């Protein structure tokens, strides 16, 4: 009888240990998630900002042709690559829904930019996606559009 109780106690202990391991830490912490996602955004934002600075170097707004080239050659490819990289980042459980919405809205925004690059001139066109960026706890580098 003592032997059976010992085995029962051991089985219960093993189940508790395995159960607590399975419940805890299934995904990354919020801190780890935001660090990884923000690093991706900052890399792509730096490339976009550098190209935009060149176009704006004279202190004047670019003509439509220059602006279109900036959008087609830098902004769209960088945002597309950023979103592809972000798709590979596992979100923290607490922000998973917000993060999925960031990605979906971001992809829609890139499609809008691809169709008409002039949408980039109005921050209001990206208000919804940028609010989701904030809700997911991501840095301003993850925002789309001016400002």
| Number of folded domains that form the chain | 1
Tokens of 93: 């459980």
pTM for the structure as a whole: 0.80
- Residue ranges making up the domain that contains 60: 31-142
Neighbours of 50 (CB within 10 A): 10
Which tens digits make up the pLDDT trace of 74-120?
999 999 999 999 999 999 999 999 999 999 999 999 999 999 999 99
Residue 38 included in any domain: yes
Residue 15 included in any domain: no
Which tens digits make up the pLDDT trace of 45-82?
999 999 999 988 888 888 899 999 999 999 999 999 99
Contact by Cβ (8 Å): 42, 139: yes
Give residue 14's pLDDT.
Answer: 44
């Amino acid at each position: 009888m003592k032997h059976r109780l010992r085995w029962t106690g051991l089985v219960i202990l093993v189940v508790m240990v395995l159960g607590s391991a399975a419940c805890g830490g299934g995904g990354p912490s919020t801190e780890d998630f935001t660090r990884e996602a923000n690093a991706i955004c900052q890399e792509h934002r730096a490339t976009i900002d550098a190209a935009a600075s060149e176009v704006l170097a004279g202190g004047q707004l670019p003509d439509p042709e220059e602006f279109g080239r900036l959008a087609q050659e830098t902004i769209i490819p960088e945002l597309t690559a950023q979103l592809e990289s972000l798709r590979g980042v596992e979100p923290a459980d607490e922000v998973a829904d917000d993060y999925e919405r960031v990605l979906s809205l971001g992809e829609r925004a890139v499609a809008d930019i691809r169709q008409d690059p002039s949408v980039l001139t109005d921050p209001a066109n990206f208000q919804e996606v940028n609010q989701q960026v904030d809700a997911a706890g991501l840095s301003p580098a993850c925002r789309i559009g001016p400002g």
